[in-house]
Structure 1
Amino acid sequence: MRHVTLVQLFDHPITQKYVKRSGMAHAVACAYHAFRLSQKYEVDPDLATKAAFLHDIGHYTWYRDGKWDYALYKENDIHAIKGSERAHKLLIRLGEHPRTAKEIALAILLHTDSYLPDGYLKLNPLQHVVAMADSLDEEPGGEHHYRKISDERARKMLIRLDDQINSIMNPEEMKRSI
Structure 2
Amino acid sequence: MRHVTLIQLFNHPITQKFVKRSGMAHAIACAFHAYKLSKKYNVNPDLATKAAFLHDIGHYTWYRNGKWDYDLYKQNDIHAIKGAERAHKLLIRLGEHPKSAKEIALAILLHTDSYLPQGELHLNPLQQVVALADEADEEPSGEHHYRTISDERARKMLAELDELVALALSQTT
TM-score bracket for this pair, using the shorter chain length? over 0.9
User: How far apart are residue 170 of structure 1 and its match?
Assistant: 2.3
Matching residue of 1:145: 145
- Give the structure-1-normalised TM-score: 0.95
- Residues of 2 paired with 1:161 and 1:146: CA distance? 22
Matching residue of 1:97: 97
- Residues of 1 paired with 2:168 and 2:66: CA distance? 46
- Give the structure-2-normalised TM-score: 0.97
Matching residue of 2:18: 18
- Letter of the aligned partner of 1:35 in structure 2? Y
Matching residue of 1:176: none
Matching residue of 2:46: 46
Identity between Structure 1 and Structure 2 (%):
78
- Letter of the aligned partner of 2:153 in structure 1? R
Residue aligned with 1:169, SS? helix
- Residues of 2 paired with 1:31 and 1:151: CA distance? 16
Matching residue of 2:163: 163
How many residues are matched?
173
Residue aligned with 2:92, SS? helix
User: How far apart are residue 65 of structure 1 and its match?
Assistant: 2.8
Residue aligned with 2:152, SS? helix
Residue aligned with 1:59, SS? coil
User: How far apart are residue 60 of structure 1 and its match?
Assistant: 0.4
- Residues of 2 paired with 1:33 and 1:63: CA distance? 28
- Residues of 1 paired with 2:55 and 2:37: CA distance? 15
Which runs of structure 1 show a deviation greater than 6 angstroms over 4 or more consecutive aligned residues? Answer: none
- Residues of 1 paired with 2:67 and 2:23: CA distance? 17
Unaligned runs of at least 5 residues, structure 2: none
- Letter of the aligned partner of 1:68 in structure 2? W
User: How far apart are residue 64 of structure 1 and its match?
Assistant: 2.0
Matching residue of 1:58: 58
- Residues of 2 paired with 1:66 and 1:11: CA distance? 27
Unaligned runs of at least 5 residues, structure 1: 174-178
- Letter of the aligned partner of 2:126 in structure 1? L
Comparing 94-103 with 164-173, greater Cα deviation is found at: 164-173
CA RMSD of aligned residues (A): 1.0
- Residues of 1 paired with 2:123 and 2:57: CA distance? 20
